Amino acid sequence: MRILIADDEKELLELLRMSLEDEWIVDTASDVEEAKGHLDAFHYAVVILDRTFHGMDRVKELIAYAKAKNAGTAVLVLSALGGVDDKVEGFGFGADDYLEKPFDIKELRARIVALSRRFGIRRFMIEGIEIDPESESLTRGGEPIVLSKNEHALFFYLLSKAPQIVAREEILDALYDNPQNITSNAIDELVARIRKKLDPKVIKTVKTRGYVIENRL
């Protein structure tokens, strides 16, 4: 399961990342635009948002952005603004849960688990492949399908964007720290290897535009 934490306290972000990454894939953002960039790039089961960024209350904007990207994403507001009116306002903005700072990390973990259960994405099938988005695992006939690290990252990135067509340049930026050092042919080769392991029809090539997973159900 992938979660996003957005807070302008960088020390807190690092603490939360270290505390939670043993259980989940954790991305962090210290400003609103960075958070939006992550929401554009990945599917998140749970998003954890501070209310204020550099003195401005931006949580309403971020909740709306997260829900527009994926209505099934659960949003937890984590804020020092913990009065009753603050919480009521947060829920009015569309938050699914609200936790006041300071907090106990065990309670935060429990709330993340509870939200993931409420909003959990169910397994589904594509061309005989069973996909579990929460664990990011693939099986065929009950047998696990093993992808390399880059194959796995590419497949689930395309899945997170489905049914949008994704350009090779965007994939390079998403998969590699230094995409300028990687040729676009590397993406073509990864797709070819994934097709061999899964099914040629799972990923479709759109000439001059990129790749797409069309039949996500």
Give the whole-angstrom CA distance, residue 16 versus residue 38.
17
Q: Are 109 and 116 in contact (CB under 8 A)?
A: no
Give the whole-angstrom CA distance, residue 73 versus residue 71.
6
Is pTM beyond 0.75? Reply is no
Tokens 């409420």 — which residue?
A: 118
Residue 28 has a pLDDT of 94
The SS3 assignment for 147 reads coil
Domains and CATH numbers, the chain: 2-119 (3.40.50.2300), 124-212 (1.10.10.10)
The phi and psi torsions of 32 (rounded to 5 degrees) equal -65, -45
Per-residue pLDDT tens, the chain, 217 aa: give them: 789 999 999 999 999 999 998 888 889 999 999 999 989 878 788 999 999 898 899 999 999 999 888 777 899 999 999 899 999 999 999 999 999 999 999 999 999 988 887 876 667 788 889 888 777 889 998 899 999 999 999 999 898 777 789 999 999 988 888 888 888 789 999 999 999 999 999 999 998 899 998 765 4
Residue 216 has a pLDDT of 52
Residue 24 has a pLDDT of 84
Alpha helices in the chain (DSSP H): 10-20, 32-41, 59-69, 84-92, 105-119, 149-161, 168-175, 185-197
The phi and psi torsions of 198 (rounded to 5 degrees) equal -105, -90
Residue 96 has a pLDDT of 94
